[in-house]
Structure 1
């Protein structure tokens, strides 16, 4: 499951008993050698789909981690690209790998941007947000986008009920619920709390117009449906006053403190 450069079982246990922020600070130097990093095939399929909708100007990766999503933004954005994450350790790795990007430390539930970006993306982060926290996340992304801006969010299809993957994710989520019930600080990471209908509802409530594209290049399930869907949430264009606004650049300071 892990390469020799990845974390040991002891390191994973220490990280799992930490807060989300502290856990990722500890994992950061070895994160790219784990299965948790977004696969290149996933990134490539997203970039190909977005290339047909762009080009875009400024791009934002929400919960950027070590910066894998920068490969997508760089391929479709003509302006500056920015990553935001609340883990200082993950941002340090991202900054080292992509020194030409802008990096902002902030809580994604309170993004410090206003109408600056044309494109926002996020990869594999939804499990770190409870369903009650998603509205604040999506409202922040909506606020960060210019009128007409796009939020692209690829998600995998749920595994079949009789599959090993279904049982594994079910078992993982149950174990995390038990862990969080008996241990503090909590570590929020669940695989089964972000179904597509709920995401659509949350994005629509935030003001987005939501469509979806099947990323069939990543394979199909036995029933013929795609293994991965790219959610496309568009902020409505407001041509009346969009051109009269002065767009301010993203903040480039730490916006959260360790907890």
Structure 2
């Protein structure tokens, strides 16, 4: 699962036994060499759908980590993109990587510097923005929020958006009970629940606490009109339903 540049098993154990924030501070330098970094195909599929829903001026990546999601935002936002995360280590790595990318791509931009990039340390449950963005995205972060926290999370994003602004994120279909992945994720969640009962501070990271029906209801309660877009790049299940969707909530006022 990990390259030789990724964290060792001992390092992962150390990170899992601390808090979420401290764990990601420790993991940050090696995060992009793990399977936890959102694959580019998810980012590109998301950007393809968003390009049809724009244009957008200002975009926000909620729980941006090392900044992978800005790959999607930069292609659909004209003025500025902002990454927000509560881990100082992840933000520092994101900023370093963005500087390296910009230095390596001047000829490809043909003199166009692209949207301005900003990095902000903040709590997704209380984002330090009000009506500042046309678009918000998030990738792979929702397992860090308990179901009871979803209303506050979605309300926080809603406040950060301008009227009519879009909140988008990809969601895979649940694995069938007969799939090894189903049991692997169930086992992971079980281990994390036991860990959190026995040790403080808790490390909140679950894979099976974000079902589409409940998520859609919470988005609508927060003031979003919700639409689902199939990401056909990932194919369809035997029953014809998409294996992956882009959930798009548009702020109602």
The TM tier, using the shorter chain, reads over 0.9
Moved more, 99-108 or 183-192: 99-108
* Residues 155-174 of structure 1: pairs in structure 2 closer than 5 A: 155-174=171-190
Q: How many Å separate the matches in 2 of 1:165 and 1:222?
A: 17
Asked if the contact 1:42/1:218 (under 8 Å) is kept, the reply is no
Corresponding residue for residue 12 of structure 1: 12
Q: How many Å separate the matches in 2 of 1:64 and 1:157?
A: 23
Asked if the contact 1:45/1:218 (under 8 Å) is kept, the reply is no
* Residues 239-258 of structure 1: pairs in structure 2 closer than 5 A: none
Q: How many Å separate the matches in 1 of 2:75 and 2:24?
A: 27
Asked if the contact 1:20/1:187 (under 8 Å) is kept, the reply is yes
Report the alpha carbon displacement of residue 172 of structure 1 after superposing the two structures with TM: 0.4
Corresponding residue for residue 212 of structure 1: 228
Corresponding residue for residue 182 of structure 1: 198
- The alignment covers a number of residue pairs equal to 237
Q: How many Å separate the matches in 2 of 1:170 and 1:202?
A: 23
* Residues 48-197 of structure 1: pairs in structure 2 closer than 5 A: 48-99=48-99, 100-197=116-213
Q: What's the TM-score once normalised by structure 1's chain length? A: 0.90
Give me the CA root mean square deviation: 0.9
Q: How many Å separate the matches in 2 of 1:149 and 1:190?
A: 28
Q: How many Å separate the matches in 1 of 2:182 and 2:165?
A: 35
Could you list the runs of 4 or more consecutive aligned residues of structure 1 that deviate by over 6 angstroms after TM superposition? none
SS of 2:57 mapped into structure 1: coil
Q: How many Å separate the matches in 2 of 1:221 and 1:31?
A: 31
Q: How many Å separate the matches in 2 of 1:102 and 1:140?
A: 19
Asked if the contact 1:114/1:144 (under 8 Å) is kept, the reply is yes
Q: How many Å separate the matches in 2 of 1:76 and 1:192?
A: 30
Q: What's the TM-score once normalised by structure 2's chain length? A: 0.92
Report the alpha carbon displacement of residue 203 of structure 1 after superposing the two structures with TM: 0.5
Q: How many Å separate the matches in 2 of 1:116 and 1:48?
A: 23
Structure with more helix by fraction: 2
* Residue segments in structure 1 that go unaligned for 5+ positions in a row: 239-259
